[in-house]
Structure 1
């Protein structure tokens, strides 16, 4: 038997949904060696072994963010923070942030911000091009809504992207205009691309820095694994993949990553990846190739999720389809035939219908019993679509934190009833669909605690309930953020539970989720994070002692 190198004792260690609790755990060679009582595990100690007395604290498998954007998040950490959480709850507050950035920047330099939510502005609207021009007349400005699907561009940014009053809406996008046809600065979905392409692009080294920066932040929350939901999403092609490979090679990848490859109509790297043998499952425990991503619609909060019924606040709006059915069929079949798992972005029921149609055609053409195709977000599906998902074993990859951060906005744009049907995690679990928990960071915070709260309480940040009856237990919520996130990328046999042989990834918290009101979970801090049996983050509240 291996000699343990790290012991956690005197704790409340949740090992998994079926496994329950243990008092202590032994780790060796990067994996779990044994769990049991403190006395049983302490008896395994040997000279040189580190021992951590948890003092009764809760420990769980390292959390796994099943859908996020790591390199984008790392870059966003250097941009203007426009989230309501930092006080940006009005257009004036946002413009003040822009004005401060302009004062620090040279004339002509780009000003980029992320995270505003117009549904939480006192004005209940987006800022306009003219308003941004007033505080930034000499700098191009691009301000991204929290969802990432809508942005505000000022006049210089629009000019840099070649967009003027005569520019038509692109397919899969919309250019915002006033009633007289003048540009108002809003760009929806594919309409953002010309401006994004005109911005200064990060280098390979910039991307590696961003991966490391974002990954280190994730460790502070007890998150040890993520599914990066779009390598190639920035339009930099294979450079984005090379950044992950370089981060791994240089020892600068702080968390385990399953990398989703862009295989969309325009942003597509799968042929180059396939030629290098980089198909779903290829790689190592730190960086492995995951599924292929395409976009079929936008977001509900931006009014671009593609629905079969119109939006409550805009009866003429059904959202924005980003692909035709024929395009979706072709892209899905191509990736499916090459051996890839699929992970299309689809929020509205019309977009979900498109994806399910494509899946049925692909499976008929080439059966693949355990491919585990996914639907990212899967926000509003119909009962008949749930049955089709069950038939094909489609994984719904939803974001419980959306319920907390965006729940109020859903009632505003979709009316009093439809928000109650979104992201039905209990139904998904009971249907055997393996739903994963995630943040979609930087769409919402990297913190996993609003995710857990959303799963358990299904309540917005102002106290509005969404979908009573869909609440999960604490055990089920943690299961979605550990085992199910691993299952979603074919890794449930190597991580997600604290059982002998699995990776020794552990998170220790200052709050016992099982003993507090759900609201207290939002106040949680991680006090120690362990990756592969090594302590990679600690606050000093627990201390490892090495045995002589």
Structure 2
């Protein structure tokens, strides 16, 4: 008998340990890590008097999923916001009715927040106007955020509280829309912060509550690790405090890798650096990851920075948030301080600008394994791939964007430019080890549409977005597990179920290897989630 007795043993199911590893019948856990895998007989040899036996009841187990790009605090905070997604409010009238009903329940002056609308999917085919929000909530400030989070509509009360009018200067990298010299209520990119400053900041207690609520929801989908992709965006350095309090109080449900907001005027990088919080600081549960800088906006909001204009608008190529020189200074400073960078760039214009900044920083201070990331990287080109490969730069996409927004991309860019977006198989073949994520609350963290889009390249409406970019189910799972860990330089810690790695495990209701894409999308549930050897979610 082995010298070590397992603390727990999983059995009576199929256990997928990672791409290239054999599926096994049983798995043993000791001190929060994988002790052994193999046949039932091989693993049962580690059974001791106090070993907890976990019957999978025919379930399908994988390494815990890693959502490599979402906003955990925002996900938790927005749980109680109005759901303005096309599913909840498919028409402008239904959306306004929901806002009216919320206003009737709240004292005058209370902020009403809603998120998720997509003007291309509304029946009117346009953004709502502030006057329409005024009509249903005249006594309440209202913020209606587009699904992408890069565009918001504010009503007159909200603009008044922020002292924004037709003469307000437009900040660099922002947009305050006017038509016929009158505000429409639409603000994009950096300009949104001008109004958001009038919204009361959440307290640290509220931030901790949001971390816990958002994290518990993620556990119910088998997600055990995440990157919070813009720490500091909601409440500045208080978010660092909240994360550490949540961890100490055992209210941090998921392993969290923090990307620190690094944009000018709102950056928390200097405070973190002075406190010694550089990339790699922390532990397996909470770690400082990268620095995040926004270079452009979103495709559906027509603010992603493209080299060619959007359809029907020859004067619009999106929003370039930083001048080249400014971005290069920001990137070099973070690089010199020892940070990995994970910067937002969707359009090919922004991607090119970011690659150049990374190349210059790496040339000035070489590091063969810094793994600077391009978050989203939706419309990259073959020439950009060549430069990325040479410099050791990695794309970090969200394949669920194909499912949720693919048809929107076609409507604003045309098929030729849109169908080949987020070229997942191309990146895989180039050995970029692309991870995947949800960008929640931009998209729901539910992993099944994400996996479905990797397998089929189909949008929610059924449009096929270049079938050459499809991958197999094992490759999709690898993206959600091993490659997510790689993107955080933690592939030796998590992402596979092999001896020595953390025992983070998701158990699903059906065998994903043999299920059809439609079965995965419509008829699969996470039934059990284990983090560090402990059961942290069990479906009733």
TM-score computed with the length of structure 1 as normaliser: 0.97
Conserved 8 A contact 1:419-1:467: no
State how 1:337-486 maps to structure 2 within 5 Å: 337-486=336-485
Alpha-carbon distance, 1:511 to partner? 2.1
User: Which aligned segments of 4 or more residues in structure 1 are displaced greater than 4 angstroms?
Assistant: none
Alpha-carbon distance, 1:191 to partner? 1.2
Q: CA RMSD in A?
A: 1.0
Alpha-carbon distance, 1:289 to partner? 0.6
Conserved 8 A contact 1:30-1:504: yes
Alpha-carbon distance, 1:18 to partner? 1.4
Say how many residue pairs are matched: 537
Q: Secondary structure at the residue paired with 1:21? A: coil
State how 1:53-202 maps to structure 2 within 5 Å: 53-85=55-87, 87-178=88-179, 180-202=180-202
- Which residue is 2:40 aligned to? 38
Deviations 1:435-459 (A, max 9, x none): 1110000000011111111111111
Q: Which runs of 5+ in 2 are unaligned?
A: none
Q: Which runs of 5+ in 1 are unaligned?
A: 541-548
- Which residue is 1:313 aligned to? 312
Separation in 2, partners of 1:283, 1:162? 41
Separation in 1, partners of 2:410, 2:337? 41
TM-score computed with the length of structure 2 as normaliser: 0.98
Q: Secondary structure at the residue paired with 1:421? A: coil
Deviations 1:299-327 (A, max 9, x none): 00100000000011322210001111011
Alpha-carbon distance, 1:10 to partner? 1.9
Give yes or no for the alignment of 1:279 onto 2:278: yes
Conserved 8 A contact 2:410-2:419: no
Separation in 1, partners of 2:43, 2:58? 15
Separation in 1, partners of 2:142, 2:269? 32
Separation in 1, partners of 2:143, 2:225? 31
Separation in 2, partners of 1:5, 1:363? 45
Separation in 2, partners of 1:516, 1:213? 31
Alpha-carbon distance, 1:42 to partner? 2.1
Q: Secondary structure at the residue paired with 1:174? A: strand
- Which residue is 1:510 aligned to? 509
Separation in 2, partners of 1:492, 1:254? 20
Separation in 1, partners of 2:83, 2:60? 32
The worse-fitting range, judged by mean Cα deviation, of 329-338 and 122-131 is: 122-131
Deviations 1:457-488 (A, max 9, x none): 11100000112200010010000010001010
- Which residue is 2:14 aligned to? 12
Separation in 2, partners of 1:57, 1:232? 39
Deviations 1:111-153 (A, max 9, x none): 1111112221111111111111000111110010110000010
Conserved 8 A contact 2:4-2:46: no
- Which residue is 1:260 aligned to? 259
Give yes or no for the alignment of 1:22 onto 2:24: yes
Deviations 1:157-189 (A, max 9, x none): 1111221122233211111222x1211111111
Alpha-carbon distance, 1:23 to partner? 1.1
Conserved 8 A contact 2:376-2:396: yes
Separation in 1, partners of 2:371, 2:56? 38
Conserved 8 A contact 1:9-1:42: no
